[in-house]
A and B are shown apart, each in its own frame.
Chain A
Amino acid sequence: MSHVITIDQSLCRGCNLCLDVCPKHVFQDSAEIGAAGLKTKQVVDADKCTGCGLCELHCPGAISLDLLPDQVFSRLVADERARTTQSEARGGWKEVNSLLTPGRYFMTGNDAIVEAALAAGCRFFAGYPITPANEILEEMSRRMKAVGGKFIQAEDEIASIFMVMGAAWAGLKAMTATSGPGFALMQEGLSLADMAEVPCVIVNVQRAGPSTGQATRPAAMDMIEARYGSHGGVQRIVVYPESVQEAFDLTIHSFNLAERFRVPVILLSDGYLSHLSEKVEIGERIRVYDRIYVPGEPAFGPTADLAAPSMPRFGDGEALQATGSTHDRSGKRSTADPSVQENLVFYLDRKILSHQEELVDCEELFLDDAEVVVVAFGTVGRSAKWAVKEARGSGRPIGLLRPRIVYPFPAHRIIELSRSVKTFVVPEMSQGQMSHVVGQSIAGEVVPLPQPNGQIIDPRRILGYLLEGVW
């Protein structure tokens, strides 16, 4: 009685390893040419086979070696391996108690982001030291312990964003925080988060650049990068608060948006807001959203209704294929089909754009009869607000539009306003980035007020421009 060797010729790749590795020379080329245009292999002397298994271990799946019963290695049979446990559906809106005692607090922008993240359910933080985001890293190392989450200081920002994505696939809400140079390093990972639909929050505490620039000084120089910095350039949700209170509220909002849309959300701050201490009101209950999981549903888009797809976690038994390569709804790579590529990229855009109306969140002031509108973001918006109010006091028809959600950019609001507004004025802590974005959708006048000097914009400087036209 001998071992049984069978060869599936359709799987033979013609590498000839079986001929050469068999110590007993059991295999030979046959005269027949197979489907792949190669000589098929045949077993010439099965009696000589010792069952060593070298042939099947070298073979790309064509050779089956069935050993005599007393030599069978396998300890389990296939049907015993069927998974018996199945995870249950989960996710959606819920209300949770605030982690901090409800009430009034005095804290910095960086601290508010930490507390809000934990309140929103963030239980994983990976980061690398960089000014002016260091306090988020430090505070997270302390606070994450208290709430039973995981903290790791990574070897660089590239590792940070990939650790965050790993944690997100393990089922946790995850975050990292950085500043300009670190944010640039994260673009590679962010692009993957876009493509593989990985929810996470990335805080970019902006500082004056380019490059190392002025590490401790505020700027808003990553406004374009936050949206367009990554390879592929799909739509992003980008948020920029003006105060410590807004930093708290919008951090919770950022997590909810990341979970709902399964996207990386960029939470912008700057070197001023990060270290500014002021009052924060924290309520008793907080509304948070957890990513949806429906067992057996495809884990990736494009979904028919443009909603985020079901997100299993590793260990749910879904044999997930998460990839940054173009893929179908199951996650299977499809790297040559033009329609799969196009549908996926358009879907990633539309997933956000189709919710644009809901995502518009602007502070508006005196817009009803405004002829000049100041469009400002984040901390600059705060300076602008004072200037606009003062100018109104002097009887000037001036209004303010401050998008808290920078992207998707509220272009239709600008278009609407442009019917009556003569001039849009865009003060920025940069050489002028958002002024181009404001101008993209309208033909009217857009005046950039650039200040790339590493200082917050003095409200009096904006007022000076509004009253006297001098910058």
Chain B
Amino acid sequence: MNVRELRKLYLRQERTTFCPGCGYEIFINCFLRAIDELGKRLDDYSFTAGIGCSAWVPNNYFRADNFHTAHGRAIPAAIGLKLANPELEVVTIGGDGDLTSIGGNHLIHAIRKNIPIAVFCLNNFLYGMTGGQVGPTTPLESKTSTTLDGNHEQPFDLMKLVLSVGGRYASRYPTAYPHLLKKGIENMLASDGFRFMEVVSQCPRQYGVRNESSTASRMIALQKEHYLSKEKARGLSMNELEGRIVFGSFQSANEYVRFLSEEQ
């Protein structure tokens, strides 16, 4: 089946309400493609979501069991589902603010307890649905609706965050590389234990317009400039890695930090 047919089969409505150029559409396509290639149906999975654009992916669109909880609370709800019925394959889809700010405490404790759920963090670098406020992953100097002269707070590196509290499965894929993203989703869904993926996604409407990249294409091009797969990064020197963000799947903090330059 092509993506269009998968969307017809598995989405509750063909046309979403995401803004034109939204990266979450790419995530939806890659997710559906991934489960298809695993030989699974979408309703083989149970979804939990919090609040924000990210929550709409499973709650409004995925034709599968879904619990749309409160802001930040998707992970505890997922833990309840998984513990109560270990046969359920539980997937949490949240945003960067949702999972790492208001829900940050739940995230680190789910990692510590190694609850076997798959958590996708759709990172658009700010609070998109509420108007583009600064979030825990907003890059330094970025303009948002609450940091008009640029963000001065150090953002989270979500790979460092997850791996430093004992995570054994942290992955990061940008929407600019949908084939790699799809493969990453496949690998993650087929694995066990607590799994985390940061889906680096473009938000042209809220982030792009304020930061001189108002088209999705420009934001995708910028992702390609900055993000580098760990396979490609392996042979590079620290100088060559300067300003680059490495993506892929990481099993330990040691594996990840060697790709970081000193400032990072």
Residues of A that sit less than 8 Å from B by CB? 8, 10-11, 13-17, 19-21, 52-54, 56-67, 73-78, 81, 83, 123-124, 126, 150, 152, 154-156, 158-160, 162-172, 174, 188-189, 191-192, 196, 313-325, 332-333
- Selected from A313, A319, A333, the residue in CB contact (under 8 A) with B60 is A333
Task: Find chain B residues with CB under 8 A from A325 CB.
Answer: 68
Contact B84 A174 (CB under 8 A): yes
Could you tell me the distance between the alpha carbons of A190 and B95 in the complex, rounded to whole angstroms?
A: 23
Apart from A166-B79, A188-B70, list 19 A-B contacts with CB within 8 A.
A15-B22, A20-B221, A21-B220, A53-B179, A60-B20, A61-B16, A61-B25, A74-B36, A126-B76, A150-B83, A162-B77, A163-B77, A166-B84, A169-B80, A171-B84, A172-B84, A321-B59, A322-B67, A322-B68
Contact A162 B69 (CB under 8 A): yes
- Give B1-43 interface residues, CB cut-off 8 Å to A: 1-7, 9, 11-12, 14-16, 18-22, 25-26, 29-30, 33, 36-37, 39, 41, 43
Contact B16 A60 (CB under 8 A): yes
Given A323-B59, A325-B68; A166-B18 close (CB under 8 Å)? no
| Closest A residue by C-beta to B175 | A58
Given A57-B178, A78-B9; A319-B105 close (CB under 8 Å)? no
Contact B2 A56 (CB under 8 A): yes
| Closest A residue by C-beta to B115 | A152
| Closest A residue by C-beta to B217 | A20
- Indicate with 1 or 0, residue by residue over B45-85, a CB within 8 angstroms of chain A CB atoms: 01010000000000110011111111001011111111111
Could you tell me the distance between the alpha carbons of A333 and B48 in the complex, rounded to whole angstroms?
A: 15
Given A166-B78, A167-B80, A314-B88; A319-B70 close (CB under 8 Å)? no
Given A65-B3, A325-B68; A170-B84 close (CB under 8 Å)? yes
Task: Find chain A residues with CB under 8 A from B43 CB.
Answer: 83, 317, 319
Contact A170 B80 (CB under 8 A): yes
- Tally of chain B residues near chain A (CB < 8 A): 67
Task: Find chain B residues with CB under 8 A from A16 CB.
Answer: 21, 215-217
Task: Find chain A residues with CB under 8 A from B67 CB.
Answer: 165-166, 169, 196, 314, 320, 322-323
Task: Find chain B residues with CB under 8 A from A163 CB.
Answer: 76-77, 79-80, 83
B226 within 8 A of A: no
Could you tell me the distance between the alpha carbons of A35 and B68 in the complex, rounded to whole angstroms?
A: 33
- Selected from A11, A19, A67, A152, the residue in CB contact (under 8 A) with B83 is A152
Contact B216 A64 (CB under 8 A): no
B109 within 8 A of A: yes
Task: Find chain A residues with CB under 8 A from B41 CB.
Answer: 81, 83
- Selected from A164, A189, A333, the residue in CB contact (under 8 A) with B59 is A333
Could you tell me the distance between the alpha carbons of A63 and B36 in the complex, rounded to whole angstroms?
A: 18
List 28 A-B residue pairs with CB atoms under 8 Å apart, sorted by A's residue number. A13-B19, A15-B217, A17-B21, A21-B220, A56-B29, A57-B3, A59-B3, A59-B25, A61-B4, A78-B5, A81-B41, A124-B83, A124-B84, A150-B83, A152-B83, A154-B76, A158-B73, A162-B70, A166-B81, A167-B81, A167-B83, A171-B84, A192-B69, A196-B67, A314-B88, A315-B85, A319-B65, A320-B67
Contact B69 A319 (CB under 8 A): no
- Selected from A19, A57, A126, A159, the residue in CB contact (under 8 A) with B29 is A57
Task: Find chain B residues with CB under 8 A from A332 CB.
Answer: 12
B240 within 8 A of A: no
Most chain B CB inside 10 Å of its own CB: which residue of A53, A73, A163, A323:
A163
CB B77 to nearest CB in A, in angstroms, measures 4
Contact A63 B4 (CB under 8 A): yes
B168 within 8 A of A: no
Contact A60 B25 (CB under 8 A): yes
Could you tell me the distance between the alpha carbons of A471 and B215 in the complex, rounded to whole angstroms?
A: 73
CB B30 to nearest CB in A, in angstroms, measures 6
Could you tell me the distance between the alpha carbons of A35 and B246 in the complex, rounded to whole angstroms?
A: 41
B87 within 8 A of A: yes
- Selected from B14, B26, B81, B106, the residue in CB contact (under 8 A) with A57 is B26
B182 within 8 A of A: yes
Contact A171 B80 (CB under 8 A): no
